[in-house]
Structures are given as C-alpha cells and as structure tokens.
Amino acid sequence: MPAWNGPRTAHNRGLVVGYAPAAGVSSLTAFFGDSLTAHHTWCPHYWTLGLLGAPLDVVRNGGFNGQSILGLSTQLDTSWDAAPAGLSGAPALGWIFLRIGSNNARGAEGSVGVPLGSYGANYDSVITKCLAAAEHVVIFPVPPIGGDAVTKNLYISQYNDYLQAKVAANPTRLHWIDDCADLTVPGGAVDPTFFIADELHFSGAGMIRCAQTAQPQLVALFAEQGYASALITDAADVYPAQPQWVVNPLNTGTSGTRGSGWTGSGSLPTGVHVASNGAGMSGTADLVAADGGDANTTPWLRITPSASQSGSAVAITYAGDGRSYGASDPAELEQTMEVRVTGWNGNAINRLRAWMQAGGQQITAEQILAMNEAASASGTVTLRHTYKRPAASSGVTGVQTTTHYIYLDGAGSSPAGTIDIRCLGVRG
C-alpha cells in the first residue's frame, strides 16, 4: 500500500493530499489550464518543480489564455501536437498538473463572481479525460480573486470544495496541492504583493510564493519515486558523443569574454559571452566555485547587475555545436539548467529567458523564470522541459551552427543581488 500523506496542517489547509504513489510512475508530465498555467504568462509550476530539482520531465504546456472549464474539456480531445495541446496521441503520461476555473468563477471583471452551478459537470469531464491519459492528476486550486482594490470574488470556495471532494473520492490517482494558501491577508482578500493590478493573475512574487507553499506537499507526493536529476554533470555529455548541443555545460576554460559595461575579477568559461542587449545595462560577470559539500562541483557563472534599464537585457550566450536540421528533426528538444537567485530584485530584472537559436530562428521554446515584483527573490531552481520545436523554425534545414541565449530582462529600478547559472544543456 502506498504511503498516505496524512491530514493537512493549518498551513496547508483542506482535505488530504492523497496517496503518495509507489515507485515507478513515469516522469513525463503535462500542464493544462488557463492563463495561470500558460507558458509565457503567469505559470508558477516552473518555480514549483524547479525548487524540487525538476524531478518531472514536462513535455507539454497546454495552458491557454482565457480558457474555461468546458473549453478545456473540448481542447483535451484535440491533438497532442496542436496549439494549445490536447491529449489525443499523447504518450503515456505519469502526471498531469491541472488548474482551471478562474475564468468561470470570475465572471465580469470587478464583479462578485459566478457560482459553481453546472460547471461541476464540466470539471467531471476534464478530470475523466486527464485520468485516461495519465497515471496521476495533480489538481491545483482556483486562486483567490480581488478584495484589495478589486471587488472580492465570493464563489471561489465552491469551486475548490468541489475539486477537493473529487480528490477525496479517488485519492490514489487524484491529488490536491493547495499552493494558494498563503496568497491572502486575514479576511480573505488577496495580498496585492502576490498579484498584478487585476488581482487575478500572479506576479513573480506570487509565483514564487505558490512554489514555496507547494514544495513540502509535492516532496511528500513524490516521496517514493526517486527521480534522477536531469542536469548535465559529465564533461563527456556533449556532441558528438551525445546529441547535446551546448559545448561547455560545465563552465570550464578561461577564454570567455565580456562586452562593454561588463567587468569581472577573473576569466569567464570558454565559449561564454556576457554583454548587454540595449542601453543602460551593466555589471560584473564572474566564475565562482561550487559551495563546499555540494555534490555537483560545477562552478557557477555569476551575474551581478549594477544598472538596469526597462526594455534592455543582460545577454549571456553559450557556444553550441553545429548539427543538421530537418523540417521536423529534431521534433522536440530537452532544455536544462540550474539557476541560483540570491537577494534578487524582481523590480530590476523581471525574468530569465533561455533558448537555442540556429539559422536566425529560435529552435527551442523559451525557458521562463519570472521574478517581476519580487522584492528579494532567493532560491536554487532547476529548469527543465522537453517542448516541441517552434513551428516557425521548420524552414531551418541543413547543417547549422547553434548558439544558446540566456536573457535577463530589465525592468528599470536599481538592481540588487546575484543570479548564478550552471549546467546549461539542450538535448535532442
């Protein structure tokens, strides 16, 4: 019998999470939901899994801005390769992360919201389809809406009570992770620190708070799995021995370079260049050793901005090996890296983006780590996903040289803190 996670604490209030499944659940994972899940918008799952070392291989994000519960039910019947993804033709998934219902519950902007009513049947349809495609479905709450500068929604609890009852009825395959328990002030209004002005969508600070709240719950859920780290820690894990296209994932060598406005106390790793994209960005870029006792001895590339400008970015590039591309070869690429944020000011640098480029086109999806409006973000995060090659890159064929980009997008206020990067890899 798999372990029971036990009753939830006052911090993680609600019903039980569900059974922690026995070892052997596939790490292949898909996300589904609305704009609070969609890849480029307000999705906290990258922080959430990142704080755990990215144990799951996220192979699709089917989040779609404006999606309703019924709309998602229809979407799930479409192709795995559609945009947004459905579940028809999906591989055997271990996990689906599901958050849906905000658009139904919200109703007209600034209203008190819409009761659950008949939407329960739509939830039943969505959950049934997810269970047919994945071993386990992790259900996240509809977050609180309003109460500070926007009218407070009065019906969120109806949606979440319904979902928790579904989990209680099938606790071996459905799991409730309440990552929203710490987003409100006494009385139930949203804490505006954690939301953008509409008091519906998370700020970067809210995404981080969701991740921190979810972390112990997911540690318990994955306790039996023993998922291996996907980070590259072997210098031989490069082309041509492996289909991995970053030349120097371990930050070795001394021939890296800095652009105008960037200084440092020592050499940068071979094949690495740190510069500014746009005006008004400057700082230091250095190589720092792994902490004593760290099982991963790879050194960190440390970025410490001294000036930030909205519309500009810190531009970090890693050299890549060439490969021959077909219109759909490779169809998917896995992207991995470890990022350590210390005292980071999300009002100065609002997000990290990373991608691989060839032939003037992005060949991978962008990895995203949002930090906007986080006063002092800190944490070590492993970023990992295996996403479809962008459709626009289908014209990139033949032998191409690849370059790997990491951008730290400026937001304009005075920088603070450092961001460290290591073990960058792109495989496929």
The answer to whether residues 90 and 30 touch, using CB atoms and an 8 Å cutoff, is: yes
**DSSP H helices in 4-118:** 45-51, 69-75, 102-106
Query: Tokens 């710490």 identify what position?
Result: 182
**How many CB atoms are closer than 10 A to CB 403?**
18
129: exposed, middle or buried (C-beta count within 10 Å: 0-12, 13-18, 19+)?
buried
The answer to whether residues 380 and 208 touch, using CB atoms and an 8 Å cutoff, is: no
Cis peptide before 21 (omega within 30 of 0): no
What are the two backbone dihedrals, phi and then psi, of residue 313, each rounded to the nearest 5 degrees?
-155, 150
Domain with CATH 3.40.50.1110 in the chain: 3-221
Pick the CATH number of 3-221 from 3.40.50.150, 3.40.50.1110, 3.40.50.300, 2.60.120.10: 3.40.50.1110
At CA 189, angle to CA 188 and CA 193, rounded to 5? 125
Residue 242's contacts (CB-CB under 8 Å, 6 or more residues apart) are 236, 427
Residue 147's contacts (CB-CB under 8 Å, 6 or more residues apart) are 153, 184, 185, 187, 188, 189, 190, 199
Three-state SS at 170: coil
Tens of pLDDT, residue by residue over 267-304, are: 999 999 999 999 999 999 999 999 999 999 999 999 99
Tens of pLDDT, residue by residue over 357-386, are: 998 899 999 999 998 888 888 889 999 999
**DSSP H helices in 134-203:** 156-169
Q: Which CATH architecture has domain 257-427?
A: Sandwich (2.60)
Tens of pLDDT, residue by residue over 2-18, are: 333 333 333 344 444 67
Q: Quick one: DSSP state of residue 32? A: E
pTM over 0.85: yes
Tens of pLDDT, residue by residue over 319-365, are: 999 888 888 889 999 999 999 999 888 888 899 999 999 988 999 99
Please, which residues bridge with residue 110 across strands? none
Domain with CATH 2.60.120.260 in the chain: 257-427
Q: What does the pLDDT average to over 28-51?
A: 96
What is the residue type of 63?
G
Is residue 227 over pLDDT 90?
Answer: yes
Tens of pLDDT, residue by residue over 202-211, are: 999 999 999 9
Alpha-carbon distance of 17 to 341, in angstroms, equals: 30
The answer to whether residues 424 and 318 touch, using CB atoms and an 8 Å cutoff, is: yes
Tens of pLDDT, residue by residue over 94-129, are: 999 999 999 999 999 889 999 999 999 999 999 999
The answer to whether residues 299 and 251 touch, using CB atoms and an 8 Å cutoff, is: yes
Q: Quick one: DSSP state of residue 121? A: H
Q: Note the pLDDT of residue 413.
A: 84
